[in-house]
Structure 1
Amino acid sequence: MTPLNTPHLAALHLAADQKSAQVTDWSGRIGWIVGLLLFIALVYWLMREGWKWRGTLQSDLPELLGAPAEPGTARLSMRGRYHGSTTAGQWLDRIVAHGLGTRSRAEVTLTDAGVDVVRPGAKDFFIPTAQLREARLDKGIAGKVLTEGGLLIVTWQHGDKLIDSGFRSDHAAEQSAWVEAINSMKHPVTTEGTAQ
């Protein structure tokens, strides 16, 4: 009688104890993936319907003006981004009517006639000087928050509504000049430093 080889016996017990790997339940995984995709589609559809509903609520806003044929000599110009418009003083109340809610690249020019906003892929608009109210540097507007003073906010009157429009120049340092120029158009300062 030959003695049992202990390592060989241990290997046989180990092989007997092992079970085959569980087969992946593809139907369950596919069900979860389809469910997740349907949920994402539902959320997207609800967001789109909310956007359209907001536009309907703001339908009383007049059409945006186009630039005049002769806007005059450019006082300032900048390239950057248009980040959207909100009701003045309410940085989360986004305005979407007439394309004002569409973010885009923008070329903005300030002339004596007003502010011309040219947006590739979105509707251009013009803010006449008479409708300008003020400009300031701020940190946020609906959907975009930057460091303090990172956004140029232009407040203007359109119909009976005051609007804040947010811009970010590719060269942020030039935004201060815009604030001074726009504010001086509405509130010229004399050499004595008092408002006229």
Structure 2
Amino acid sequence: MTTAGAAHAVTAAAGQHSAPVTHWGGRILLTLVVLAVLSGIYWLMWRGWKNRAARQADLPAPPSAAPEGSDLGDAVEGVYASTTAHGDWLDRIAAHGLGVRSNAWVRVGRSGVLFEREAAPDVFVPAEDVQAVQSAPGIAGKVTGGEGLIVLTWRLGERVVDTGFQPRAKSDRARLIDGVDALLTERTNG
């Protein structure tokens, strides 16, 4: 017989039972306090996000569709991480849904780059607004380590922003970077 079993047998033989829970009022009050604190924290987070979006309201909304007859290439599936202020990978852009992480497909063509997102507005970056593309270890909302994220630098109105995208297949990283580099080369040479 184990030690725990022996102790249980001794308490059962002595007629002792575990003490019943008698402080229901205190437990219910503590539960309500915890729920109120969590609700307050979530409300403050929501309010902070709304205030951030209001501060960034001067940013124009990016186009949500490519121009008619655009020559966009094949879609690459992945995760749209977020859009941030250029050079500050933690300063997420909340306006126009640009900071919302979602599954997405990206297409690159001569007319620009199109992010087709689930449960969020699509984002089209015209070719003339594309500034650069590079691989990076992370951006607000997604840290991959290594160089698993593709960061597209582009102009939105008067501001320069970075958009992070992580392709599902590693082989698609080079293809996307090469596609955007070809777009930039054609624009500068053409």
Q: CA deviation at 1:73?
A: 4.5
Q: Provide the C-alpha distance between the structure 2 equivalents of 1:79 and 1:45, rounded to a whole number of angstroms.
A: 33
**Are positions 1:68 and 2:63 aligned together?**
no
Partner of 2:105: 107
SS in 1 for 2:75: strand
Structure 2 residue matching 1:81: 3-state secondary structure: strand
Is the Cα–Cα contact under 8 Å of residues 137 and 176 in structure 1 kept in the other structure?
Answer: no
Gapped regions of structure 2 (runs ≥ 5): 1-9
| Aligned CA distance change for structure 1 residues 73 and 126 (closer, same or farther; 3 Å) | closer
Provide, for residues 119-168 of structure 1, a one-character-per-residue CA deviation record: whole Å limited to 9, x for no partner: 12110110011000111110110122112111111110010111100111
Q: What is the rounded CA distance, in whole Å, between the counterparts of 2:139 and 2:118 in structure 1?
A: 21
Residue of structure 1 equivalent to 2:172: 174
Say if 2:128 is the partner of 1:126. no
SS in 2 for 1:62: coil
Q: State the partner residue of 2:41.
A: 43
Structure 2 CA distance for aligned equivalents of residues 145 and 117 of structure 1? 19
1:185 Cα deviation from its structure 2 partner: 1.9
State the identity as a percent. 34
Which residue does the alignment assign to 1:78? 76
Q: Which residue of 1 aligns with 2:19?
A: 22
Distance 1:96 1:79 in 2: 23
Superposed CA RMSD in Å reads 1.9
Q: Select the residue among 154, 157, 172 that pairs with 1:156.
A: 154
Offset, 1:184: 2.9
| TM-score, normalization by structure 1 | 0.83
Q: TM-score, normalized by length of structure 2?
A: 0.85
Q: Which moved more, 1:178-187 or 1:58-67?
A: 178-187
Given candidates 120, 134, 137, the residue that maps to 1:136 is 134
Residue 78 of structure 1 contacts residue 109 of structure 1 at CA under 8 Å; is this kept in 2? yes
SS of the residue 1:94 aligns to:
coil
Asked if structure 2 preserves the Cα contact closer than 8 Å seen for 1:156 and 1:163, the reply is yes
Pick which of 117-126 and 43-52 moved more: 117-126
User: Structure 1 residues 19 and 100 mapped into 2: Cα distance closer, same or farther (>3 Å)?
Assistant: same
Larger radius of gyration: 1
Could you tell me how far 1:183 is from its partner in structure 2? 2.1
